[in-house]
Each structure stands twice: as C-alpha cells, then as structure tokens.
C-alpha cells in the first residue's frame, strides 16, 4: 500500500500549501497520510482530503539531546492539548531566538540580511528555520541556492551556524502521550548516536520511522530489529518539503502488515 506519514507544508519549512500537498498525495494515490509540520499543527483545518484518503493528525517536534538533533513525530494527537501546545510555543520561541543569532552572525561576516528578510521568506510559517535564512540569502543575491547556503554558511563551523536549543525528546514524548498520541522517532538513520534509540525506547517512545528514503537496506534491517526488540510500531514517510529537492515526491510503498500495528493505534 502507499502511505506517507511524514510531509511538510509552508506552515513550517515546506513550500506547498496544505491543500496543495494534500492534492499531491491524491495525485500519487496515497491512501493514508499525515502532514507533520515542524512544531506546528496549523495545517489542520486548512485542507480537504480527496477521494476518501484517510488522514492521521501529525506533527514533527524538533528536540536536542546529547549533541544530537532528535526529531520526534507525534501521531493521533489532540489539537487542543494544553501540554503539547505549550511545548510548541517553547520551540517556536527558541526558533526565533536562533534566527536572530544567525542573522547577527551573518551580518558580522559581511552578509547584509536582516531578521525582517527572513520573516518575509517565512511568510505565515509558524516555525522559523534555516531554510528561511537560506531563502533570504538567495533573494539578496548572496547565495545561488539552498544547498550552497547550507554548505557554506549555515552548517556547523560556518559563519551563520547556531546550534539548536529545542526541548528534549523526553519532553516531546511526554507531551505527545499527554495529547493522546503515539510518539515515533523520525529518520533514525540521521542520528549521530543511534544508541539513543535504546534509551528513548525505555522512556515512552511508541514507534520508529523504519521506511524512509535515505535508509538503506542495512538501516531498515537494523530499525526493524529495534522495533521488534522494544515493541515499537513501524512507520514510513517521504519527509517531503519541496519537489525541487525531493524529486521522488510523496508516498512510500510499504507492506500493509508492517504498518498494521501503527494503523491500529491511530485509526
């Protein structure tokens, strides 16, 4: 079956509107999907599913822990959860502070952008991030594309880099569970320290994103084993942001039996 439990709109750092992303899901015959914007649920209520596709409410919470950026996906969460919304507010505040520091550092390095330039690129996005800084640099003629901006200015050791200071994954897991949801570790293959899987599995984590475009055969086998060892459900998603950088588009082909335990929890 074709599913996609990991995708982004312009409410965070994607480029499509919620409805345009949902229409893309329909075009690719995605049967069940989530919009999982970073640190915001604003897409929900802003789209109408097509052709009886089923929707699982989702969010991707950015966290930091032991020098790792750890992204925690929350599925089936209540939109009115006070605890989850307080966590989202804390991360949004941290994101703005990070952008202010990035802009100040870039200015000191001779790149004449302002926070206003970044906010212009973000539009109505609730969660500011490095892509918005990159787009501001492009518009000002200071970078040819996003890849160049990240590689030369916005990564570790570069003049515009500022480390994330988000909430911890433990707090994200707690807030997701308080909102009635299932906490899933996003793209574990991108972790610097994969031992975090073992730690978080004992601290309320409910699932792991096994099926992901950048996971190779060995990754999938390893994460399947982790899911089995700790009783975690398995999920999959494209992590779609922009067709220019995600040429495969949306949708992941998965075996129904692999994700049935997840679907049993959220549908």
Q: What is the C-alpha separation between 106 and 103, in angstroms, rounded?
A: 5
Give 225's Cβ-side CA count (13 Å radius).
Answer: 7
What is the per-residue pLDDT across 87-106, written as a single tens digit (0 to 9) for each? Answer: 999 999 999 999 999 999 99
Poorest-pLDDT segment among 119-133, 185-199, 229-243: 119-133
Domain 96-154 CATH class label: mainly alpha
Query: Does residue 178 carry a pLDDT above 90?
Result: yes
* Res 52: pLDDT: 87
Residue 253: Cβ within 10 Å count:
9
Residue extent(s) of CATH 1.10.150.650 domains in the chain = 96-154
* Res 165: pLDDT: 86
* Res 117: pLDDT: 97
Domain 2-86+165-266 CATH class label: alpha beta
Q: What are phi and psi of 72, to 5 degrees?
A: -115, 120
- Give 112's pLDDT tier (boundaries 50, 70, 90): very high
What is the per-residue pLDDT across 191-241, written as a single tens digit (0 to 9) for each? Answer: 999 999 999 999 999 999 999 999 999 999 999 999 999 999 999 999 999
Give 139's Cβ-side CA count (13 Å radius).
Answer: 15
Q: What is the C-alpha separation between 142 and 122, in angstroms, rounded?
A: 18
* Res 98: pLDDT: 95
What is the pTM for the complete model shown?
Answer: 0.94
Beta-bridged to residue 182, according to DSSP, are 75
Query: Does residue 132 carry a pLDDT above 90?
Result: yes
Give 180's Cβ-side CA count (13 Å radius).
Answer: 11
Residue extent(s) of CATH 3.20.20.140 domains in the chain = 2-86+165-266
- Give 162's pLDDT tier (boundaries 50, 70, 90): very high
Q: What is the C-alpha separation between 129 and 205, in angstroms, rounded?
A: 25
Q: What is the C-alpha separation between 166 and 113, in angstroms, rounded?
A: 24
Q: What are phi and psi of 223, to 5 degrees?
A: -75, -30
Query: Does residue 50 carry a pLDDT above 90?
Result: no
The whole-chain average pLDDT of the chain stands at 96
């Amino acid at each position: 079956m074709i599913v996609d439990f990991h995708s982004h709109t312009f409410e965070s750092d994607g480029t499509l509107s919620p409805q345009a992303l949902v229409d893309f899901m329909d075009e690719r015959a995605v049967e069940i999907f989530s919009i999982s914007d970073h640190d915001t649920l604003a897409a929900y209520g802003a789209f109408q599913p097509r052709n009886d596709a089923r929707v699982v409410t989702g969010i991707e919470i950015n966290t930091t822990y032991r020098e790792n950026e750890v992204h925690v996906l929350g599925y089936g969460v209540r939109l009115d959860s006070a605890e989850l919304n307080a966590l989202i507010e804390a991360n949004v505040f941290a994101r703005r502070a990070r952008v202010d520091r990035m802009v100040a550092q870039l200015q000191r390095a001779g790149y004449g952008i302002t926070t206003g330039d970044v906010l212009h690129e973000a539009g109505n996005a609730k969660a500011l991030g490095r892509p918005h800084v990159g787009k501001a640099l492009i518009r000002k003629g200071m970078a040819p594309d996003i890849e160049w901006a990240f590689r030369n200015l916005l990564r570790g050791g570069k003049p515009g880099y500022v480390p994330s200071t988000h909430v911890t994954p433990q707090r994200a897991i707690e807030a997701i569970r308080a909102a009635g949801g299932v906490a899933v570790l996003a793209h574990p293959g991108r972790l610097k320290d994969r031992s975090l899987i073992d730690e978080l599995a004992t601290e309320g984590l409910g699932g792991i994103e096994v099926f992901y475009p950048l996971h190779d055969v060995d990754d999938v086998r390893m994460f399947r084993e982790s899911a089995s060892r700790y009783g975690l459900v398995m999920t999959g998603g494209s992590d779609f942001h922009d067709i220019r950088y995600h040429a495969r588009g949306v949708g992941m082909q998965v075996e129904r039996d692999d994700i049935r335990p997840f679907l049993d929890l959220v549908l």
